[in-house]
Chains A and B, each alone.
Chain A
Amino acid sequence: GIQVEQSPPDLILQEGANSTLRCNFSDSVNNLQWFHQNPWGQLINLFYIPSGTKQNGRLSATTVATERYSLLYISSSQTTDSGVYFCAGGGYQKVTFGTGTKLQVIP
């Protein structure tokens, strides 16, 4: 099956800083999603982005499907951005999750 690798595994940021999270996948995907898991465990879908670029407020994502990677950009980070960010890739129904990037934003 498809392998999904995320980097970095851990990240500590000062509030207001920018960051880039990366997701590499081992094969072509029809489905690529980014999620944020808050400290209470709730997973929220951030982007569905099998290709191209999308933006939502301070977050944006870019997927280069031909090179099998996706990037999540967080600008002007806030303490509420803390948690674990997952990417997941695969087919239209079934996806494989990476092991996540744990982000801590400190005041």
Chain B
Amino acid sequence: DVKVTQSSRYLVKRTGEKVFLECVQDMDHENMFWYRQDPGLGLRLIYFSYDVKMKEKGDIPEGYSVSREKKERFSLILESASTNQTSMYLCASSLASDLGTQYFGPGTRLLVL
């Protein structure tokens, strides 16, 4: 079974703090994704990566950066957290050859005060 894990289920941070969200997958997937989920808006893509050290902006990259130094790990960074970044953050991965089927982690609920 594919396993995607995220470093925290719940996180509380203060405005202006630097926040790291970590995602690890154990199935050697080439593609990894970060989404945020907000009520009424579905999931929106922040960034994705199709290979180590490669990244592409999604639909809402402003205020975020990412890092992929190893194939199994994809980090989302909030350089200076703001209250409008309070959200559920979901990581996903997929095999490049699997025609795009995405497997999700359990999510991190981030509250920025």
B52 partner residues in chain A, CB cutoff 8 A? none
Task: Say yes or no for A43: interface residue by CB 8 A criterion.
Answer: yes
B90 partner residues in chain A, CB cutoff 8 A? 43
Give the segment of B14-22, B42-50, B66-74, B77-85 that binds chain A.
B42-50
Given A33-B100, A42-B107, A43-B90 in contact, is the A93-B44 Cβ separation under 8 Å?
no
Main secondary structure of the interface of B (DSSP, over half): strand
User: Which of A4, A42, A91 gathers the greatest number of chain B CB atoms within 10 Å?
Assistant: A42
Instruction: Report yes or no: A94 in contact with B48, Cβ–Cβ below 8 A.
Output: yes
Instruction: Report yes or no: B102 in contact with A45, Cβ–Cβ below 8 A.
Output: yes
Chain B contact-residue range equals 20 to 34
A92 partner residues in chain B, CB cutoff 8 A? 96, 99-100
**How many angstroms from the CA of A100 to the CA of B35 in the assembled complex?**
15
Instruction: Report yes or no: B88 in contact with A41, Cβ–Cβ below 8 A.
Output: yes
A43 partner residues in chain B, CB cutoff 8 A? 90, 92, 104, 107
A-B contact pairs, 29 of them (CB 8 A): A1-B59, A4-B42, A30-B100, A31-B100, A33-B101, A33-B102, A40-B106, A41-B107, A43-B92, A43-B104, A44-B104, A48-B99, A48-B101, A88-B43, A88-B102, A92-B96, A93-B31, A93-B50, A94-B45, A94-B56, A94-B58, A95-B45, A95-B102, A96-B59, A97-B35, A97-B43, A97-B44, A99-B40, A100-B42
